[in-house]
Every structure is written in structure tokens, then in C-alpha cells.
């Protein structure tokens, strides 16, 4: 629980950020790559019959999104390749390095990757009209090559079966308390885009000193940011030092006794972007599925079932979740982050051993 004082202190900033996130940019000109879902597009997509996407969101969430789409367009199979953002990045680099173009849509929680793809000329200038019209400015690439398909927070969380709310960690700093030694789980920046972003923003907000001390806490290290919430639910560790907020939402709404904590130091905000590849083997099916992901139906599903945050202004958040506007967010700068990746990995290995 945060103190009233810090809540007030954060409120102004949170409101400003939320305004930035939610205010639609009305005056954006429709660029050449903007498209609508037309009967012709649907027919062409059905003729292709398949769409392949790489994503780093949780397995059940993405398989459900894909199955909902398939139920709507039964003639189109969705092939989902789910893995950590860094793993998928490695894979697409291996593939494109070998001139293999098997993937249509790429989605990842690591915002750094998209400017890199853009520079490499791999992305199509192609966005659904709905995105161009409704998305806030910082959720869309100015050149129309990618947009935020989902947003995620990396949060602290705990299992109430083992920890009373009064004893629970309240802040990032409180995780350094010796009583949490051997009791925490966290994900790895080398494998998870979410955690790479989170490590970057926290190292800037609190300094590397924080991670050095956290490294002495015998933290259980897992790879994907989807995993700490699951280890928490299992009771393998009672506290999660970082990990996906949306998995905590999903678990909590299923009745698993897990609770997120929004640290007064700030909570890392992790935009998950998506793009259509220029050399997509199924360009029309890609456009149709891409539009579905950003549609109100798709986004509401990602929010309801997936527990994710959406930039679609029409999406209604479920009751019981803390609204984004009340959370102090730590936002990252993908271009600056890219230059620091090597340092982050090195420091991290130094402090945590892997």
C-alpha cells in the first residue's frame, strides 16, 4: 500500500501521462498505408487462407485471440509463434538473415526492436484506419509502420496465501528488506522485452545500486515475464519482484490469491508494438488479422481476457483493476535503450549470475 502522501505526489504526473496516452490525435492525416477492412480484403485474405504471427504475449491470451479470429473467419488459419520477445527477435533475425520470409505479423513487448526493423526496411507502411484515427500520438509510429497493440506494466506482486497485506512489499525499495531473501522471483532482461524495458527505466530512476542489492537477495531467476506470476500462483515464491501485470489480472480474476503492487517509485510501462512485415507471405490475411487485433473487439478481448492495457479509447476496463490514470508510470525511450542493451545485460549478469 502506498502512503497518501506519495499518492498525491504522483497524481499530477500520472494525470499528465494518462492525458498523453489517452488523448487521441485527431488531426493526423491519413497516410498512404492506411487501410479499411473491405469485402475485397476479406476475400483476398480468405484466398490466402493463413496468417503467421510472432508474438511475445502470454500463450493462452494469444491463442484465444487467434481462435476468436478464426471463429469469425473460418477460412483463415492463424499460426501463432509465441515466445519471449528477445527469442522471437533472434528467430526473425536468423530467418531474415537467410532470406526466409515466413512471418506476416510481428508483435513484441520490446519497443527497441521496431526502430531496428524500420531501419532495416523490413516493415510495411500499413496501419488500419481505426488505429490512425483513434490511437494517441505516442502509440503510433510517425511513418505509419507500427503501432501499440497492447500495453503492459511490469509490477511487484505477492501471494496473499503466504503474506498478509499488512506485511506485503510496498515499494521497489522495500524488496531489499532481508525478510524477502530467497522469497522472490523475477524475469530476465536478456529473454524478456518487458523486463529489458523495466530494467532500463528502473536503473535510470533508482540507479544500478538497486539491482546490485536485489542481486544479493537470492532471487529465483526465470526467463519470460509471463513466468513470475505463474510461479507466484504456484506458491513457488510468495513475492514477484517484476513480471507481467496482465498475468496477475488473469490469475486474480480466476480466484488465485495474487495482488499487484504499484510502487511509489513508479511502474515500468511497456508498450507492445506490432507491425506487418513488408515481405509477408500472406499480405492480405496479414492485413485482416492485423486490423482485427486493433479493432474494438480484439482490444476489448485483450483487456477482458488478457488483462492487458489498451490504447483504444473505446475499451472499458474491468472493475477491480486499478485504472492506468492512478498509476505512476515509468516510460522508456526505445532509441536510448537500444544503445544500453549490452551494458544492461553485462551489469545484470554481474549482479544476478546469468
Partner 1 sequence: MAPESSAALAAPARGFDAFRPLAGLLIAVLAALVALPFFWLCWYALTDAKGAFTTANFIALATDPTMTKPFVLALAMAACVSALSCAIAAPLAWLVARTDMPGRGAVRALVMASYVTPPFLGAVAWEFLAAPNSGLINQAWRWAFDLDPFDALVDIYTFEGLVFVIACYTFPYVFTLVATALDRVPTDLEEASAILGARGARTLSRVTMPLVLPALLAGALIAFLQALTMFGSPAILAMPAGFHVITTKIWSLFQYPPRLGLAAAASFPLLIITILLLRGQAWLLGRGNYAVVGGKSGRARPTKLGAWRWPAAGFAGIVLGLTVALPYLALLKTALTSEVAGPLTLDSLTLHNFHFVLFELSSTRLALRNTFLLGFGAATIGVVIALAAAWLVARGKSRLTGALGFLAMAPVAIPGVVLGVALFLSYSRPPLQLYGTLWILLIAFLTIEMPAGYQQFASALRGLHPELEEASRILGASRLTVLRQITAPLLRANIVAAWCFIFIGAIRELSATILLTTSNTKLVSVIIYDLNESGDLGAISVLGILLLVITFAVVAVANRLPVLGGPPQARG
Site residues (vs partner 1, CB under 8 A): 52, 54, 58-60, 63-64, 66-67, 77-84, 86-87, 89-91, 93-95, 97-100, 102-103, 113, 162, 182-183, 188, 190-191, 218-224, 226-227, 229-231, 234-238, 341-342, 345-346, 349-350, 352-354
Query: Helices (H) and strands (E) in the chain — how many of each?
Result: 13, 13
Q: Smaller CB distance to partner 1: residue 31 or 223? A: 223
- What is the grid cell recorded at 89? 527477435
Q: Smaller CB distance to partner 1: residue 237 or 312? A: 237
Task: Provide, rounded to whole angstroms, the least separation between the CB of residue 290 and partner 1.
Answer: 17
Task: Provide, rounded to whole angstroms, the least separation between the CB of residue 273 and partner 1.
Answer: 16
Task: Provide, rounded to whole angstroms, the least separation between the CB of residue 164 and partner 1.
Answer: 13
Q: Smaller CB distance to partner 1: residue 5 or 254? A: 254
Task: Provide, rounded to whole angstroms, the least separation between the CB of residue 226 and partner 1.
Answer: 4
Q: Smaller CB distance to partner 1: residue 326 or 346? A: 346
Q: Show the CA angle centred on residue 269, arms to residues 267 and 272, nearest 5°.
A: 150
Task: Provide, rounded to whole angstroms, the least separation between the CB of residue 54 and partner 1.
Answer: 7
Burial class (CB in 10 A: 0-12, 13-18, 19+), 60: middle
Q: Smaller CB distance to partner 1: residue 238 or 268? A: 238
Beta bridge mates, 274: 107, 147
Q: Smaller CB distance to partner 1: residue 231 or 312? A: 231
Task: Provide, rounded to whole angstroms, the least separation between the CB of residue 162 and partner 1.
Answer: 6
Calpha distance 284→291 (Å, rounded): 11
Using DSSP's 3-state secondary structure scheme, residue 133 falls into helix
HSE on the CB side for 264, CA within 13 Å? 15
Angle, in degrees to the nearest 10, between helices 85-97 and 113-120: 10
What would you measure as the largest C-alpha separation in the chain, in angstroms?
A: 62
Question: What are the CA-CA distances from residue 307 to residues 207, 252, 258, 301, 315 (Å)?
Answer: 30, 10, 14, 9, 12
Task: Provide, rounded to whole angstroms, the least separation between the CB of residue 51 and partner 1.
Answer: 11
CB atoms under 10 Å from CB of 108, counted, come to: 30
In this structure, what are the phi and psi dihedrals at residue 125, rounded to the nearest 5 degrees?
A: -80, 90
Q: Smaller CB distance to partner 1: residue 91 or 125? A: 91
Residue 30 gets which letter from DSSP?
A: P
Instruction: Report which of 18, 152, 84, 190 is spatially closest to residue 199, judged by C-alpha positions.
Output: 190
- What is the grid cell recorded at 334? 526505445
Q: Smaller CB distance to partner 1: residue 97 or 320? A: 97
Task: Provide, rounded to whole angstroms, the least separation between the CB of residue 282 and partner 1.
Answer: 12
Amino acid at each position: 500500500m502506498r502512503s497518501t502522501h506519495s499518492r498525491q505526489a504522483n497524481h499530477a504526473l500520472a494525470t499528465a501521462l494518462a492525458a498523453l496516452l489517452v488523448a487521441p490525435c485527431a488531426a493526423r492525416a491519413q497516410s498512404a498505408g492506411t487501410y479499411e477492412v473491405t469485402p475485397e480484403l476479406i476475400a483476398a485474405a480468405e484466398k490466402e487462407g493463413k496468417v503467421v504471427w510472432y508474438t511475445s504475449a502470454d500463450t493462452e491470451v494469444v491463442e484465444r485471440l487467434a481462435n476468436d479470429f478464426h471463429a469469425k473467419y473460418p477460412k483463415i488459419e492463424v499460426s501463432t509463434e509465441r515466445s519471449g520477445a528477445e527469442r522471437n527477435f533472434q528467430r526473425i533475425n536468423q530467418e531474415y538473415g537467410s532470406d526466409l520470409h515466413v512471418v506476416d505479423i510481428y508483435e513484441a513487448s520490446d519497443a527497441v526492436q521496431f526502430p531496428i526493423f524500420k531501419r532495416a526496411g523490413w516493415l510495411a507502411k500499413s496501419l488500419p484506419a481505426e488505429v490512425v484515427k483513434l490511437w494517441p500520438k505516442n502509440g503510433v509510429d510517425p511513418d505509419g509502420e507500427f503501432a501499440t497493440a497492447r500495453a503492459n506494466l511490469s509490477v511487484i506482486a505477492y501471494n496473499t496465501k503466504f503474506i498478509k497485506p499488512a506485511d506485503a512489499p510496498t515499494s521497489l525499495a522495500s524488496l531489499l528488506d532481508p525478510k524477502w531473501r530467497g522469497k522472490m522471483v523475477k524475469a530476465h532482461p536478456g529473454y524478456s522485452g518487458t523486463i529489458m524495458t523495466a530494467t532500463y527505466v528502473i536503473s535510470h530512476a533508482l540507479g544500478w545500486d538497486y539491482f546490485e542489492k536485489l542481486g544479493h537477495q537470492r532471487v529465483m531467476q526465470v526467463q519470460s515475464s509471463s513466468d513470475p506470476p505463474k510461479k507466484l500462483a504456484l506458491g513457488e515464491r510468495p513475492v514477484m519482484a517484476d513480471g507481467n501485470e496482465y498475468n496477475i489480472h488473469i490469475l486474480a480474476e480466476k480466484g488465485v490469491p495474487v495482488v499487484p503492487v504499484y510502487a511509489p517509485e513508479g511502474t515500468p510501462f511497456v508498450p507492445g508494438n506490432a507491425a506487418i512485415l513488408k515481405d509477408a507471405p500472406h499480405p492480405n490475411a496479414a492485413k485482416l488479422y492485423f486490423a482485427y487485433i486493433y479493432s474494438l473487439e480484439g482490444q476489448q478481448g485483450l483487456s477482458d481476457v488478457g488483462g492487458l492495457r489498451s490504447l483504444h479509447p473505446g475499451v472499458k476496463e474491468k472493475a477491480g483493476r486499478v485504472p492506468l490514470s492512478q498509476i505512476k508510470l515509468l516510460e522508456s525511450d526505445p532509441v536510448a535503450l537500444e544503445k544500453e542493451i549490452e551494458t544492461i545485460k553485462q551489469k545484470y549478469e554481474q549482479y544476478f549470475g546469468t
